[in-house]
Structure 1
């Protein structure tokens, strides 16, 4: 087996009295996408910052194996960053330069020769589906175009590993799907990706494995479908409409489900045998039902809870 591209061991980080990352370990193999999910304040961004050398862990180690050489943060930060690509949550494009100039200037940060960067610009813009916008400035682009340009910029140094912090936040469905298509192409080309996201469909679509964080700790890790099978019943029946909430305390219906949860005006029945439950619900024709397989969102809510957590 190939050595892991990145190996994170027992990371800890404290700010004041608050432990924001608590004994977190993971690795990423070449060509793998690892998704990091968790509610606000779970420690996702701090973990990414330590992986990038932007924050120093109080304990633990971040080690990379790049081109056969083992490097560690923060001692080898410059050598590591030269082989990484980063797309942050926020737009950091230079508004004064056009798209081609943004790529040129960014490539110079890595010490690349202008001629080498210019040779890569057409293929990077083509990859981002932005060839027709080479002379435009970022302010003239849609949100989806800006995110694709940020991704193209992160590829200017031909990195082995991409660190993407919520790369599709704020995009409409069409723009998200195009971004997913581009990320899947990169995985097919052998790139590795560390991805944080709040979109469970994104995580299930792109990630080979998932790391679930909550309160700074790792609470689950594995392949998406394996985690769903391990933690959840296979079927979910959602019931909503006037009078639906009363069904949550109906002993007869509860006996047909392994678990019953309420969120807002919807009752969720989790079961291994949906047919008897659906038959019993026919006695309530005024209510609407949705029968579906359990998914990553159900997993996320079971492991981290349904209560909203505010930023900060």
Structure 2
């Protein structure tokens, strides 16, 4: 009886439904999903190779960009292979430990990506507002320490999530209406008081994502003030162009992230729309980041063309 009760409240597997209501279109939906995933893998691996092999790119901005590219590879690979198995083979079962590991990686690596965005904004602030001391402030050792702090912050703050979820009783169902395991999706399945856990998740989200976003906005206010105080229009344009790639990457990252977070907790969005936006949040930035930097950064663009054997026009 005890064993039966344990199995009922602590399932060994969860069932991922994919996108409820769009089951007939799963195969068609898988085509853009798979295409985006392949582009993400190729783009980020190529970006990492270019930064590693090109000495002129061994600067703080590109070192932070390489950290972001590696995080993009981790977060997209954490979800997409299983999602494609659901779409192609109807393999919906996922072991509880794998589900909890997926939750930890998704949320902790997303937190790390936000931290890398903040580090890149700080680099742009120092480069524009204090250019003479840029190389002395952001040495390789400082860059490595910042990267380590960002990784540790994500791992420590999000580390309790899977352990807290594992202790919850799931006596209602083990069916998750999603393409991957998500923290709030499991919280909503639990038949226990989860107010404290939800409050902790909200506090972590504010402490990481929201505070990072606020600091990034403040840094760009200071950057814009410094840029528009420059005497020539050419100098202003050159300074702004060095920030444009980072601004585009931030918009691609934060826009779906904010929509996904608040719609899951406070909004009343159709499940299909919410799940699609949640997948876009995990899929689009990893694909777009290398494209944005590859197109807008001459050093990266020229090196990529050289690797691909294409002569620049």
Instruction: Pick the TM interval, shorter chain.
Output: under 0.3
Larger RCO (CA under 8 A, 6+ residues apart): 2
> TM-score w.r.t. structure 2 length?
0.23
> TM-score w.r.t. structure 1 length?
0.23
Tell me which protein shows more helix as a share of its residues.
2
Tell me which protein shows more strand as a share of its residues.
1
Higher Rg of the two aligned structures = 1
